[in-house]
Structures are given as structure tokens and as C-alpha cells.
Amino acid sequence: MWEIDQVRQGIVKNQIPSVNLWYGEERFFIQEALQLLKNSYLAQDPSGSGIEILSGKSTGPEQIVEIANTVSFFGGKLIIVEDIPYFQDGQGDALEPFFAYFENPNPGTCLVFLAQSVNRGRKFFKAIEKKGSILEFGSPKRQQEWSAWLDRELAARGKTMKPQVKALFLEWGGHQVGALSQELDKLALFVEGKEIRTEDVRSLVPQAVEATVFELLDAVAARSAKEAVQKLQQVLRQEHSLKVLTLLSRQVRLLLGARAMRQQGRGAEEAPRLLGIKPYEAQKIWQKAAQLTWEQLSWALRECLETDVAIKTGKGEPEFLLELMVVKFCEM
């Protein structure tokens, strides 16, 4: 999670490698690390002439290597290569210029390749792993990691939150680093004083749709039709009816998957990998799956499919059909 700290320390110590590969699901952290790196070069040359941003799809390896080998008259050079296709099939000999360059890179150039995902078995990955640096930027996973990230962001803005407010903020705002960072900026701007309170979060931060869907499922598990319909109406004010149905269907499928894992004797620690979701969401799904039976969840999934058909064939107003489905859920 703290790959950005490695970048920050490398800048301070002037130890950023000549060849780097940065990848991962958390684009916000990658962009934050890139900005730190750019700022360090802008401090040497405010004109920005030593910074070049290239597309890996439109700029060939030979051209990138040629640019990397060019001497900058104003100090070091930073080359950022975005959207690299080098882990796809069919690259072959086209990447040979890189392999030769990695053996003897220009010490005055910092070359950073950016990718969303990688193939560790590819020659390109192994070549950088051997001669350069590879960082994977991921989101916080466990609750303590989210709390540590939030503490750091609050400190950077000169603000504090009590533990219960931090939990509310993360739940209320959704576990997306970029979106949460923007909401913290807003809170820091509008909240007077140092402490951010519960009422500040509820009044200034929009509740994430996914968080509301979880609250809807809590109401269903408690057999509270009135509260479930209220939560549904809240979600419908934020998203189109078909999107809401898709979200509900996804949650039911995940609950079925978690229920099946429980019946097979598997543990909660396997849920993120087997269900294909982030650990924090997996923890909530795992806990909620214990409240509903396999028969209830199977029935709920059939209701989702039937409601989808009914909406798309015009058998009623979408909002009414969704409300009817949710009420049935509470009676199952």
C-alpha cells in the first residue's frame, strides 16, 4: 500500500532507479507518485523541458530508447511511457531495443513505464525486475490499512476524526481512494476547526451507492420492508433503475458465492480471491451471507432475473417493479 512512500524516499535520497515499471488497480496512488516525481524535476528546471510523456501505443521502442539516450542540458530527464502494450501477445522482437537499453541505461534519464496490469512471466517484466524497479500500487485492503491511510490524509490537511467518524466516513463515502481524497479536500475547506464530526460527514459527503445498497440488504435481512423501500428510493435518486437492479443482482450473486464457500468449509480469507472482489467488500459479504440461506438467496436471484425481464418488456414502471421485488425479499 505504501509504494508512494518508497517513491517519496527515493526522491529525497536521489535514488530513483533509471528504469521503473509502475502498475496496479489504484490509479490515484500512481498519479500521486508521478506528481511527486514531476515536482522533483520541475524544481531543477521550472520550464518542464526535462519531462516527456509518451504513449506506449503510438511511440515505438526504438524511438523511446532514442529519447531516453538524449542528453538534457538542464539536468536530469524524466520520461513517462503510458498505456504500454508490452504484455500483449505478438510483441516479440519489437521489444529488443528495450532489453539492450536496460543493460546500460542512461544515468541521466529516469524512465517510468505505466501499466494497469502485467504478466510476470513476460520477458519485459523479468528484464525490468532484474535491472530496474517494479512497484505495484494497490488500494488499502484491511480495515487497519484504510484507517492508517485516512489518518495520514487527515494529518496532511490539519484535521482529525474520532474513530467512529472515520468508520462512518469510509463506509459512507465508499472505499475508493480518489473519491475519498476529494471528499476530504471538501471537508477540510468547509469544516471550521480541526475536528471533523459525524454531522459534517453526513451533510457534506454524498453517500456512495454501494453503501446504500448494503444498508438496503441489511433492512432485507432484518425483514424491514419499510426501511428497505426507503433505501431503495434513496438509491434510485442516484442511479437509473436498471443500474440499481444490476447492483442488487451482483450482491445476491456474491452472497450466493460466499454461502457456497461456507457450505464447502472454506474460510473468509479465501473470499477476495474466489469472489473476485476487494478484501473489505469480501468481509462484509461473508458476514451477511451467514444471515441468509441458500434457498433464500437462490429465490432472490430468480426474482432479480424476472424483474429484469419485466422492466425490459414494459410490464410496469421500473421503480414500482423494484419496490415490489424488495418487499418480496423482506417476506422470503
* Residue ranges covered by each domain of the chain: 2-136, 143-204, 209-331
pLDDT of amino acid 79: 97
Contacts of residue 158, Cβ cutoff 8 Å, sequence gap at least 6: 188, 194
pLDDT in tens, 121-165: 999 999 999 999 999 998 887 778 888 999 999 999 999 999 999
Q: How many residues are present in the chain? A: 332
How big is the CA angle at 322 (ends 201 and 307), to the nearest 5 degrees? 140
Q: Which residue has the cell 458476514?
A: 287
The three-state secondary structure class of 200 is helix
Name residue 111's beta-bridge partners.
19, 79
Taking the C-alpha atoms of residue 187 and residue 118, their distance in angstroms, rounded to an integer, is: 36
Taking the C-alpha atoms of residue 216 and residue 72, their distance in angstroms, rounded to an integer, is: 58
**Does residue 279 have a pLDDT over 90?**
no
pLDDT of amino acid 136: 93
- Which of 89-103, 105-119, 202-216, 279-293 has the highest mean predicted lDDT (pLDDT)? 105-119
Residue type for position 156: A
Q: Cell for 43?
A: 524544481
Q: What is the mean pLDDT of residues 237-255?
A: 89
Q: What is the mean pLDDT of residues 82-91?
A: 86
CATH superfamily, domain 2-136, is: P-loop containing nucleotide triphosphate hydrolases (3.40.50.300)
pLDDT-based confidence at 107, cuts 50/70/90? very high
Average pLDDT, the chain: 90
**Does residue 1 have a pLDDT over 70?**
no
pLDDT of amino acid 90: 72
**Does residue 13 have a pLDDT over 60?**
yes
What dotted CATH number matches 209-331?
Answer: 1.20.272.10
pLDDT-based confidence at 306, cuts 50/70/90? very high
pLDDT of amino acid 124: 94
Lowest-pLDDT range, 17-21, 71-75, 297-301?
71-75
Contact predicate 207/176, CB 8 Å: no
Longest CA–CA span in the chain (Å) reads: 74
The H or E element that residue 136 is part of is: strand 133-136
- Which of 12-21, 203-212, 269-278 has the highest mean predicted lDDT (pLDDT)? 12-21
The yes-or-no answer to whether 2-136 and 209-331 have a common fold is no
pLDDT of amino acid 201: 93
| Three-class SS of 142-153 | CHHHHHHHHHHH
pLDDT of amino acid 261: 93
**Does residue 256 have a pLDDT over 90?**
yes
The H or E element that residue 109 is part of is: strand 109-115
Q: Which CATH class is domain 143-204?
A: mainly alpha
pLDDT of amino acid 104: 95
pLDDT of amino acid 207: 77
Taking the C-alpha atoms of residue 61 and residue 98, their distance in angstroms, rounded to an integer, is: 6
Question: 217 or 255: whose pLDDT is higher?
Answer: 255
pLDDT of amino acid 39: 95
Taking the C-alpha atoms of residue 58 and residue 66, their distance in angstroms, rounded to an integer, is: 15
**Does residue 304 have a pLDDT over 80?**
yes
Name residue 52's beta-bridge partners.
79
Q: What are phi and psi of 180, to 5 degrees?
A: -65, -40
Contact predicate 131/103, CB 8 Å: yes
